[in-house]
Structure 1
Amino acid sequence: MSETTPLSFFEEDVTEEINHGIRVSNLAYYVGKELGLYENQCYELAVAGMVHDIGKLCVSGYLYGRHEDTLKIEEMKYVRMHPRLGYDLLMRYDFSDDVIETILYHHENYDGSGYPENLSGDQIPLGARILRVCDVYAALTSDRPYRRAFDADAAVELMIDEVKNFDIKVFLAFQRVIHEEQLADKWAIQRLKVRITEEDMK
């Protein structure tokens, strides 16, 4: 964190990232269930969802404390490194291959236009295809410093406009899940708050 970044801004950003991870985790788990995956596969999707953006810690200077909606082209190059940085980080720990590959490829688009490898179709691991849909929905339905959250219907409409990015089988399972009333609270906006002190930053 830079010396000019107010601590409260950093706390807000960290809180947002953790809450985003919780929402993606919950969504991914239930989309996996809807697709008929085994319980252990759904559990690994939940783990991957929780830590999918951990690589952003390595590029935090370009992200946290910023309250504008655009990044310079040079900065975007670094931000787009976060899936690989997350993969490299988690390789040091006892995560399964499925979890770390899901994290590495969660920004790949089904039509081949994503990153970091421009994979397409079934080249993209199923876990990453699931996380892609859940990540986009969780982001669209959350407040950002530069815009208010979209409601669920508007978010889905926006995603339909870009449906080429998604595995249609996964996308349809995702839609069934988000319309299950008894599950609605599983990806409601979280209220977890993070408190960071100056001592924590030393």
Structure 2
Amino acid sequence: MAEMSEKIIRYDLETEINHGIQVSNLAYKTGRQMSLAEDVCYELAVAGMLHDIGKLRLSRYVSGDKNPLVIEEIKYVRRHTQLGYEALKNKGYSSFVLEAVYYHHENFDGSGYPENLRGEEIPLGSRILRVCDTYAALTEKRPYRDAFDSQTAVRMMIDEVKNFDMQIFLAFQRVVHES
């Protein structure tokens, strides 16, 4: 049992690190594509790497091997933004990074979480991470499904474009199509 638990934790950690790297790279490149200042792009890269750090505190509550998650698991997963913010807030990170982590699941139409912010109420860093995180999640293999190819992932995102700031989404698409 302990060996199985260790394998799950190692898988979760490796998966989260790889996901963070992908989101970090995409966020940095999207910021550059939007002609944001280099220091802002750097902050986007940091936020991208750390955006899901709160999930590491949830591994004992969420099995992660099934889809859809049961209602109790969804409740815990939605806490990861707050848990990540709390883990980082006294560690010297900028307010830009902290807000990006906390609000990265807010949808542009107001349907996201944790606070149902909409439009430009959502901090810029969070709006950028929202797009990059979605794409990274779609293009990564998950225990319950294979990874989608880039074109399929972008088409799926277009179907849910209400979730994204359109200017950011267009800049992001230019980044993906250049790769």
TM-score by length of 1: 0.85
Task: Work out the CA distance in 1 between the residues paired with 2:120 and 2:61.
Answer: 32
The structure-2 alpha-carbon separation of the partners of 1:6 and 1:88, relative to structure 1 and needing over 3 Å to count, comes to: closer
Which amino acid is 2:127 matched to? R
Which amino acid is 1:121 matched to? G
Provide structure 2 residue ranges, at least 5 long, that are not aligned to the other structure. none
Task: Work out the CA distance in 1 between the residues paired with 2:47 and 2:23.
Answer: 9
Aligned-residue offset at 1:50: 0.2
Aligned-residue offset at 1:31: 0.2
Task: Work out the CA distance in 2 between the residues paired with 1:127 and 1:99.
Answer: 7
Q: 1:80 aligns with which of 46, 62, 78?
A: 78
Q: Indicate the residue corresponding to 1:55 in structure 2.
A: 54
Task: Work out the CA distance in 2 between the residues paired with 1:173 and 1:74.
Answer: 36
2:171 is aligned with 1:173: yes
Equivalent position SS for 1:71: coil
Aligned-residue offset at 1:57: 1.8
1:22-66 CA distance string (max 9 Å, x none): 000000000000111000000000000000001112212133x53
Task: Work out the CA distance in 2 between the residues paired with 1:69 and 1:6.
Answer: 20
2:77 is aligned with 1:103: no
Determine what percentage of the aligned residue pairs are the same residue.
Answer: 60
1:46-102 CA distance string (max 9 Å, x none): 000000001112212133x53212221122111101101111111111000000000
After TM superposition, the runs of 4+ consecutive aligned structure 1 residues lying more than 3 A away are 2-6
Q: Considering Cα pairs closer than 8 Å and 6+ residues apart, tell me whether 1 or 2 has the greater RCO.
A: 1
Aligned-residue offset at 1:17: 0.6
Task: Work out the CA distance in 2 between the residues paired with 1:5 and 1:166.
Answer: 38
Which amino acid is 1:171 matched to? F
Aligned-residue offset at 1:3: 4.4
Task: Work out the CA distance in 2 between the residues paired with 1:95 and 1:8.
Answer: 31
Aligned-residue offset at 1:7: 2.2
Provide structure 1 residue ranges, at least 5 long, that are not aligned to the other structure. 185-202
TM-score by length of 2: 0.96
Task: Work out the CA distance in 2 between the residues paired with 1:18 and 1:106.
Answer: 17
Equivalent position SS for 1:179: helix
Task: Please tell me whether the aligned partners of residues 13 and 56 of structure 2 are also in contact (alpha carbons under 8 angstroms).
Answer: no
Output the aligned Cα RMSD. Answer: 1.4
Task: Work out the CA distance in 2 between the residues paired with 1:85 and 1:10.
Answer: 18
2:87 is aligned with 1:89: yes
Task: Work out the CA distance in 2 between the residues paired with 1:55 and 1:152.
Answer: 27
Task: Please tell me whether the aligned partners of residues 81 and 101 of structure 2 are also in contact (alpha carbons under 8 angstroms).
Answer: yes
Task: Work out the CA distance in 2 between the residues paired with 1:5 and 1:158.
Answer: 34
* 1:93-172 paired onto structure 2 within 5 Å: 93-172=91-170
Which amino acid is 2:166 matched to? I
